Amino acid sequence: MKSLIITISLLFAAISCNKGGKENTPPEKQPEKVEKVPEKTPEKKEVQEKYSNLIPRKKIFGNPLKTGFSISPDGKKIAYIAPLNNVLNVWVETIGKNDAQAVTKDTYRGITNYIWTKDSSSLLYAQDKGGNENFTIYQVKLDKLTVKALTPEKDVRAGIVATNKRFPNEVLISMNARDKKVFDIHRLNLKTGKMVLDTKNPGNVLGWLADYNMKIRAGMVMDKDAKKSLIVRTTPNGKWKTLLTWDYLESGGPVGFTKDGRSLYIMGNKGSDKYRLYTIDIATGKKKEIYTNEKADISDVMIHPDKMTVVAVTTEYIKKEWKIFDKEFQKDFDAMKKLAGDLRFGLISHTSDLKKWIVATAGPKVPGKYYIYDRTKGTFDVLADTRPELKDFTLNEMKPVEITARDGLKLVSYLTIPAHPIKNHRPMILLVHGGPWHRDRWSFDGMAQWLANRGYWVLQVNFRGSTGFGKNFLNAGNKEWGRNMQHDLTDAVAWAIKNENIDPKFVGIMGGSYGGYATLAGVTFTPDLYAAAVDIVGPSSIETLLKTVPPYWKPMMALFSVRVGDIEKDLKMIRERSPLHYADRIKTPLAIFQGANDPRVKVSESDQMVQAIRKNKKEVMYIVYPDEGHGFKREPNRMDFLARTEVFLAKYLKGRFEPWTAWPGHTAKEK
């Protein structure tokens, strides 16, 4: 186990689909000349109050002061992410000493994730090339500050599956070196550097799970009908058998093994609407329920790293809630709750003996604050605020709201309200989350805070198909791209116009990944609704998206077929839901941003949309970053994207803006 906290991934928990769905009829052609997107800051007369109460973009989106804290297993050192020459790197300092030093020296894309080895002598981190998501695992030895590539193979995606304090010199690593479509498990010895094949993927395993003794004994597979199965073996070299199955309408997967290895903790919704947590005996199949919540899915499960018992679970309907099972930790959670007040809180890392924890708090107006919690003393010592400079500004309230869709479905949403609204002007931006099998949360959201500071009401909607709200809500989004999922967004805009007095002439839409698709769908399927639109790495054609997925997504294509659409059986529907085919209906000023190396949504998705728009003699601002992937990781590119977006939105929605200046080092290419 990597940590006391185990968060279920998409592979193990969010796999459920539906074969239903009616065809969507796009609107009639409505050609209209689109005003040219500005290439420079609008004139002063075009935007009211544009400079008042502005929070500089860099203070929200620039590299944080310090973030990503983790305590070493022996409790002697702290590691964290912080800039070195304006590039994020890993730093380490001894607790109680002023000896902080950067232990990595990346000079370009930065490092944003790492873990301690269990003997506290090294750090492991993953990094790709230009956003291609073929991650290499590196080891930093702290005694000599040497960096070594543990998985040096080219064009291979590697990931850390398990570490274990009982086996401090070993790491289980997944790699698709043998077959780009699937991941085998390799056992690496950190002392010798020797790596051996531990478990070969038979061709359909999506994810693996190790037991208390760091042996791979469970996996999740998917068949051609999107039925998921949990396979297990009683011994490390034993025969695999199927223990549980979930059909295409269900979700579920293993959380971890019990200490004796005889049972598994399972989280899933087989036989229920919401995720339940239960144990299942591997030999007999007998189940024992631990917890379910009628309002929301279980989101996180915390397992004791020594006893392998359930410590706590979290659920999140509108706000995050905790349920504690291990009374040994009740006082600790009570103390964290008291510390956090109305904010979210969580355990980030801990020492091997569990005596010291790294705890974090956050909320809509609090980007994140880290503490060292001493369980023996019951004290919290502040480590850092991630963005202390924001204390000098008034941040914006995030109000939870429940919006009723046209068919009666309740949509948990969040409205961020400008602390400094523009006089006599109420513009709004619909900010659409990606995934789409993801969700928005009541927490700090840099995009929402930034846009609200510019005078926009910001609405974030958990449309049908979002995760966390139960099986029925998730499945309500199956095969509904561009149809009912999009209707939810349209209905939310209507709600805001009616209930929040939003000016219908100044509504924008913006989002990344699926949110980018929803943006393109918004300006093609409802061309009169939005006054400005920003698409970030969004697919323009479901057909070409499904044809160009990364090789390691191939075993999951059955999932996409029944959830999004079968590229052969549903081709007519897929094409009707693809904004690419309705580019001539766009009236809305549109900006498109894309990473050239994106492995999920290829640059061709944006290329073809731009080509179709310009073929119809419409204008679009198109920016490509040649050294980025599915999002913009480098600070110069991130700041360039934000500056261009801010000026673009101000042009059409009349919000405030910080004047555009070229950010040193950005690689943006206007096309």
- How many alpha carbons fall within 13 Å on the CB side of residue 440? 32
Confidence band (pLDDT; 50, 70, 90) for 327?
very high
Q: What is the reported pLDDT for 275?
A: 96
413 in catalytic set: no
C-alpha separations of 465 from 19, 114, 441, 479, 486 in Å: 14, 31, 15, 10, 11
Interior/surface letters 381-419, b for 16+ CB within 10 angstroms, e for the rest: eebbbbbeebeebebbebeebebebeeebebbbbbbebe
CA 59 to chain centre: 22
CA 569 to chain centre: 30
Q: What is the reported pLDDT for 23?
A: 34
CATH fold for domain 65-226+316-386: Neuraminidase (2.120.10)
Q: What is the reported pLDDT for 49?
A: 56
Q: What is the reported pLDDT for 616?
A: 93
Task: Please name the residue that has the structure tokens 């056992």.
Answer: 187
pLDDT tens figures, 216-272 = 999 999 998 899 999 999 999 899 999 999 999 999 999 999 999 999 999 999 999
pLDDT tens figures, 98-137 = 999 999 999 999 999 999 999 999 999 999 999 999 999 9
> What integer best gives the mean pLDDT of the chain?
92
Q: What is the reported pLDDT for 130?
A: 95
C-alpha separations of 553 from 130, 159, 228, 229, 559 in Å: 20, 15, 15, 17, 10
Query: Is residue 187 predicted with pLDDT exceeding 60?
Result: yes
Query: Is residue 467 predicted with pLDDT exceeding 50?
Result: yes
Query: Is residue 450 predicted with pLDDT exceeding 60?
Result: yes
Question: Domain extents for the chain?
Answer: 31-59+391-670, 65-226+316-386
Query: Is residue 612 predicted with pLDDT exceeding 90?
Result: yes
Q: What is the reported pLDDT for 14?
A: 30
Question: How far apart (Å, rounded) are the C-alpha atoms in residues 474 and 287?
Answer: 25
Confidence band (pLDDT; 50, 70, 90) for 50?
low
Pick the range with the lowest mean pLDDT from 29-43, 182-196, 309-323: 29-43
Percent share of the chain, pLDDT over 70: 92
| Helix, strand, or coil (residue 349) | strand
Pick the range with the lowest mean pLDDT from 278-282, 334-338, 455-459, 554-558: 554-558
Query: Is residue 29 predicted with pLDDT exceeding 90?
Result: no
Pick the range with the lowest mean pLDDT from 278-287, 554-563, 615-624: 554-563
CA 252 to chain centre: 19
- Concatenating the DSSP letter of every residue in 256-287 gives EE-TTSSEEEEEE-TTSSS-EEEEEETTT--E
* Residue 118 near residue 163, CB atoms below 8 Å: yes
251 in catalytic set: no
Out of 251, 299, 513, 541, the active site residue is 513
Cis status, amide bond into 400, omega within 30 of 0: no
CB neighbour class for 498 (10 Å; exposed up to 12, middle 13-18, buried from 19) = exposed
**Of how many residues is the chain composed?**
671
Confidence band (pLDDT; 50, 70, 90) for 152?
confident
Out of 122, 630, 640, 666, the active site residue is 630
Query: Is residue 89 predicted with pLDDT exceeding 80?
Result: yes
Confidence band (pLDDT; 50, 70, 90) for 484?
very high
Interior/surface letters 210-221, b for 16+ CB within 10 angstroms, e for the rest: bbbebbbbbbbb
Query: Is residue 441 predicted with pLDDT exceeding 90?
Result: yes
Query: Is residue 32 predicted with pLDDT exceeding 50?
Result: no
CA 182 to chain centre: 22
Query: Is residue 33 predicted with pLDDT exceeding 70?
Result: no
The conformation of residue 182, written as its DSSP 8-state character, comes to S
Strands 428-432 and 507-512: parallel
Query: What residue type is 413 in one-letter code?
Result: S
Query: Is residue 523 predicted with pLDDT exceeding 50?
Result: yes
What class has domain 31-59+391-670? alpha beta
Q: What is the reported pLDDT for 615?
A: 96
Q: Which two tokens stand for residue 456?
A: 């926009």
pTM equals: 0.92
Query: Is residue 46 predicted with pLDDT exceeding 80?
Result: no
Query: Is residue 583 predicted with pLDDT exceeding 80?
Result: yes
Query: Is residue 595 predicted with pLDDT exceeding 70?
Result: yes
Out of 184, 598, 627, 640, the active site residue is 598
Q: What is the reported pLDDT for 425?
A: 97
Identical fold for domains 31-59+391-670 and 65-226+316-386, yes or no, is no
570 in catalytic set: no
Percent share of the chain, pLDDT over 90: 90
- Concatenating the DSSP letter of every residue in 471-538 gives HHHHHTTTT-TTTHHHHHHHHHHHHHHHHS---TTSEEEEEETHHHHHHHHHHHHSTTT-SEEEEES-
pLDDT tens figures, 366-379 = 999 999 999 999 99
